[in-house]
Amino acid sequence: MAGKALWSGRFAAGMDDSTLKFTSSLDVDAALAFYDVMGSLAHVRMLKTCAVIPAADADLIAKGLRSLAKQLRDGTFEMDETLEDIHTNIEVKLTAMIGPAGGKLHTGRSRNDQVATDFKMYLRDAALNAVEAIDRLIAALQNVAKTNRDTILPGYTHMQHAQPVTLAQHMLAHAFRLGRDADRFLDAYERLNKCPLGAAALAGTTYHIDRKMTSDLLGFRDPTENSMDSVASRDYATELAFDAAMTAVSLSSLCEELILWSSQEFRFIEMDDRYSTGSSIMPQKKNPDIAELTRGKTGGVIGAVVSMLVMTKGLPLSYNRDLQEDKRPVMDALTTMTDCANMMAKVVSTIKVDESHMFEATNAGFINATDLADYLVTKGVPFREAHGIVGETVRFCIANKVTLDSLTLDQFRKFSPLIDEDVFTAIAVKNCVDRRDSYGGTSPASTDVELTLSLSDLVRREEDVRVKDQLVKGCWEKLFRE
């Protein structure tokens, strides 16, 4: 059996069905269908304006393309599985609909620049969707911070009690990290937002086309500068895969903490029933499955970066068929990461915080030891000497199974005669937190500033996404009207 092929002039025999099956990308690139139609609409309008094809043919092609776009929006577009990709599907259906004029659509372009353009348009939308999802989670973290500016819990290094912090600062730490992740997507958007259409197979075209016009019609910033680079490079896709992986790592870190915090050993938070599951045999269980699945899905997202780097590491210029395999890993990574961020926004926005258990936990682990050392420094003791004095004091407390707060003044003075009654004020946990009012610190006064900055970043990104989205949608509407 020989499969269908749109181009058969060079070959005496048709494509074998096994070859068609092996080379087909329809299951993946069907997601590019709408973008393919829009790219073709812009291309044919440019061909008409530049008088590359007759105006009547261009108008007929545009009418057919708009009809296909409507079918795609309505869900009535039927794929022909015997054709190798979505681009061929659209061209075949267009020609069947309007006749031989449909064959003129491909004038001045190649499948190479066509696919690169479609993929870039898809990735622009995917990048903005990712930013919106991340920002939903950031907004949820900000809301927890707003209502917990005075909630105190242990801060950890090496998963050991380090110093007391506020829950507001802890949530904002995740918010700022995720904010950088969102900004990376917006930065990548700017780099990918150049249009390859018109680069043709690799060397440009002999037709007198206007690539700037096509770029403008599709909402790109500029045309790509080099036709070989236009069809051969996928750094923009790899960059977005990395951005997704970096965000997934941030999400996984947050999930790990929430999983620990919801355990019986911590009891810092309780997750909402709607975002938890039970056990098949243990009725008492309430499992943090959303957070666990998000943590687990991180591996697949990271794998997409590896796939892209390995796929492209040895490719000579210009286009190679290997690049057909670029879409699945990047699309899957972006979809997975965006879904995870959206779900974690729901988880975070519905957690119940147990303030008493958080504060109770600060009684263990000598979490105010650094403040005792800082107290001695205010009495004129060099910090390194103060560090040693406090270390001896802690060793005494461990041996006698007591806390720093429970020592008497006489016991404190055995370690340093400079210690006075004011030491008890200095090492009170709430005071330890309130005194850390340096820029970026954990005091409520400092976290109020941090929250304002985080909210400002959120507004900036929301506006950036809105402007970018409206620009592209405005181009779509103009192409449909004209």
pLDDT tens-digit map of 63-96: 999 999 999 999 999 888 888 888 889 999 999 9
CB 204 within 8 Å of CB 173: no
Task: Give the torsion sign (CA, 191, 194, 200, 202).
Answer: negative
SS3 80: coil
End-to-end C-alpha distance for the chain, whole angstroms: 43
Who contacts 149 (Cβ-Cβ below 8 Å, separation ≥6)? 166, 168, 444, 447, 448
Who contacts 404 (Cβ-Cβ below 8 Å, separation ≥6)? 366, 368, 369, 372, 393, 394, 397, 427
State both tokens at 280: 């098949």
Q: Is the pLDDT of residue 353 over 70?
A: yes
pLDDT tens-digit map of 366-386: 999 999 999 999 999 999 999
CB 318 within 8 Å of CB 228: yes
User: What is the phi/psi pair of residue 126, to 5°?
Assistant: -65, -40
pLDDT tens-digit map of 137-162: 999 999 999 999 999 999 999 999 99
Q: Is the pLDDT of residue 15 over 80?
A: no
SS3 352: strand
18 given a catalytic annotation? no
Q: How many beta carbons lie within 10 A of that of residue 157, not counting itself?
A: 8
158 given a catalytic annotation? yes
SS3 405: helix
Q: What Cα–Cα distance (Å) separates residue 356 from each residue in 230, 268, 270?
A: 59, 8, 13
The reported pLDDT for the residue numbered 283 is 66
Of 279, 356, 406, 456, the catalytic one is: 279
The reported pLDDT for the residue numbered 14 is 67
Between CA 8 and CA 83 the distance in angstroms is 13
Instruction: Report the percentage of the chain scoring pLDDT > 70.
Output: 96
Between CA 167 and CA 170 the distance in angstroms is 5
Of 158, 208, 280, 438, the catalytic one is: 158
Between CA 54 and CA 48 the distance in angstroms is 7
Among 66-80, 187-201, 214-228, 343-357, the range scoring the smallest mean pLDDT is 66-80
pLDDT tens-digit map of 225-276: 999 999 999 999 999 999 999 999 999 999 999 999 999 999 999 999 999 8
Query: Please, what are the domains in the chain?
Result: 14-107 (1.10.275.10), 112-150+164-197+234-361 (1.20.200.10), 369-429 (1.10.40.30)
Strands (E), 64-151: none
State both tokens at 144: 């927890």
The reported pLDDT for the residue numbered 87 is 87
pLDDT tens-digit map of 388-434: 999 999 999 999 999 998 999 999 999 999 999 999 999 999 999 99
